[in-house]
């Protein structure tokens, strides 16, 4: 049962993944709320929630730092924040470099592009935010629920630091920063040829902007790399549980399978699949005087059975507990709506 996971004091981080459009953000909030009701002190990191969700949690807006969600009946507490990748990045730059150099970096064209539009920045900053919260965790929270950015891969989030390190550690980048470094001198003949080629392709203005950026921000990169490695290590253990959200459509389940394989391959703990938006036509009906109504219902019931069949097939290949959440049309409006969803986490027949 997923409630046992939420209650378990050894669960310190829950990472919720899934492709876009499956209801990941709402379900992350639902899990966080339920955990708070069960007595945990929870912090929820959301990525780009619908305005409605912020409203639902009684917050004017979700800021980049945690705010308390008012839950008078809960035994525990819930704080929520919305990741602002750019301002997280900016404050890191300033914190590492100081105001003077930091401001230069913030003004660099290259940095501006990277911090707003580079694919992976959001993932990277989500990791960074998690790192910051982990540092405070034992004082303030005993559970952090992370709603990951919508991406094709569960590991985009986890691998962001590794990708960044690979990029930062590249010989080419090092050579660009310090072309006179004796260790790389022999190597430099080749590097110079490549730099010439790159400048031909990228144009020399682009390359010089890049160079400025790299020189200014080299220290930041080293700090990032170190921090993110630590964060990764701190979540790559049994204290962190991964939950995959999917819908019962076959295409969504294939994406979920892809996620599950990656999580397993990385030796991480996959704890639950949440199957969202299951049809409510869960009872067979054979006889009804209103024939049109019967036909419409039976069509929906057939869909329900196809959905369960999809899930059954999926479960043959991917073992983790499955939680079913019924479809509801209304968007979440307030905490009570979240509570209704949360009630489905603990089926009363269990």
Partner 1 sequence: MPIPRLIFVTGKGGTGKSTIATAIALINAQSGRRVLLLDVQRRSSLHDALGVEFEVGKSVKVKDLPLDVLSIDSNDSFLDYLEKFYNLRIAGSLLKSLGAMEFATTTAPGLSDILIVGYAANAARSNEYDLVVVDAVPTGRFEKFITTADALMDMAKSGPIFDQALLVKEEIEADTTSVIGVTTTDELAEIELVEMIEFLREKGITLLMSVLNQSIEASVSLGQPNYPELNEKQTRALIETMTLLLEKTTRSQRLKEELTGITPLVAIEEYPRIDESALQHIGKEIIKGWKSL
Residues near 24 by beta carbon (within 8 Å), at least 6 away in sequence? 16, 17, 18, 147, 148, 150, 245
Among residues 5 and 256, whose Cβ is nearest to partner 1? Answer: 256
Indicate which single residue of 61, 73, 100, 117 sits in contact with partner 1 (rule: CB under 8 A): 117
Query: Does residue number 123 form part of the binding site for partner 1 (CB under 8 A)?
Result: no
Among residues 79 and 156, whose Cβ is nearest to partner 1? Answer: 156
* Contact positions with partner 1 (CB under 8 A) in 310-329: 310, 326-329
Task: Please report how close the Cβ of residue 209 comes to partner 1 at its closest, in angstroms.
Answer: 9
User: What CA–CA distances, in Å, run from 313 to 36, 250, 254, 279, 302?
Assistant: 34, 10, 11, 17, 16
What are the two backbone dihedrals, phi and then psi, of residue 145, each rounded to the nearest 5 degrees?
-105, 125
Side-chain half-sphere exposure of 216, counting CA atoms within 13 A: 22
Among residues 112 and 230, whose Cβ is nearest to partner 1? Answer: 112
Q: Report the C-alpha gap between 113 and 101 in whole angstroms.
A: 18
Do the beta carbons of residue 57 and residue 30 sit within 8 Å? no
Do the beta carbons of residue 45 and residue 148 sit within 8 Å? no
86: how many CB neighbours lie within 10 A of its CB? 18
* Contact positions with partner 1 (CB under 8 A) in 85-114: 110, 113-114
* Contact positions with partner 1 (CB under 8 A) in 155-174: 163, 166-167, 169-173
Q: Report the C-alpha gap between 10 and 295 in whole angstroms.
A: 50
What residues pair up with 16 in beta bridges, in sequence order? Answer: 147, 243
Among residues 70 and 280, whose Cβ is nearest to partner 1? Answer: 280
Query: Does residue number 293 form part of the binding site for partner 1 (CB under 8 A)?
Result: yes
Binding mask 232-271 for partner 1 (x = CB under 8 A): ---------------xxxxxx-xx--x-------------
Query: Which residues of the shown chain bind partner 1 in the complex (CB under 8 A)?
Result: 19-22, 50, 110, 113-114, 117-120, 150, 152, 163, 166-167, 169-173, 190, 194, 197-198, 200-203, 205-206, 210, 247-252, 254-255, 258, 279-285, 287-290, 292-293, 296-297, 300-301, 303, 306-307, 310, 326-329, 331
């Amino acid at each position: 049962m997923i409630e046992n996971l939420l209650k378990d004091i050894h669960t310190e981080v829950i990472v919720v993944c899934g492709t876009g459009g499956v209801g990941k953000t709402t379900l992350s909030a639902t899990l966080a709320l339920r955990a708070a009701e069960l007595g945990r002190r929870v912090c929820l990191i959301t990525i780009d929630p619908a305005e409605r969700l912020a409203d639902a949690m009684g917050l004017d807006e979700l800021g980049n730092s945690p705010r308390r969600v008012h839950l008078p009946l809960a035994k525990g507490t819930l704080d929520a924040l919305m990741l602002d990748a750019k301002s997280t990045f900016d404050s890191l730059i300033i914190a590492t470099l100081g105001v003077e150099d930091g401001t230069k970096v913030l003004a660099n064209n290259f940095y501006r592009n990277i911090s707003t539009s580079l694919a992976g920045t959001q993932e990277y900053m989500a990791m960074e935010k998690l790192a910051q919260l982990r540092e405070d965790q034992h004082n303030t929270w005993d559970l952090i629920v992370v709603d990951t950015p919508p991406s094709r891969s569960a590991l985009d989030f986890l691998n962001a630091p590794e990708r960044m390190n690979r990029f930062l550690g590249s010989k080419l980048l090092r050579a660009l920063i310090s072309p006179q470094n004796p260790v790389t001198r022999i190597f430099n003949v080749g590097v110079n040829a490549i730099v010439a080629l790159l400048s031909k392709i990228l144009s020399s203005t682009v390359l010089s902007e890049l160079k400025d950026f790299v020189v200014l921000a080299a220290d930041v990169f080293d700090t990032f790399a170190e921090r993110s490695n630590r964060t990764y290590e701190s979540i790559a253990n049994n204290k962190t549980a991964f939950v995959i959200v999917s819908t019962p459509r076959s295409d969504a389940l294939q994406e979920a399978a892809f996620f599950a394989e990656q999580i397993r391959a990385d030796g991480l703990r996959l704890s639950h699949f949440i199957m969202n938006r299951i049809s409510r036509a869960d009872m067979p009906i054979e006889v009804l005087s209103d024939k049109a109504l019967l036909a419409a219902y039976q069509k929906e019931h057939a869909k329900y059975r196809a959905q369960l069949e999809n899930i059954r097939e999926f479960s043959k290949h991917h073992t983790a507990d499955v939680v079913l959440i019924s479809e509801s049309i209304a968007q979440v409006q307030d905490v009570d709506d979240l509570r209704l969803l949360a009630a489905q986490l603990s089926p009363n027949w269990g």
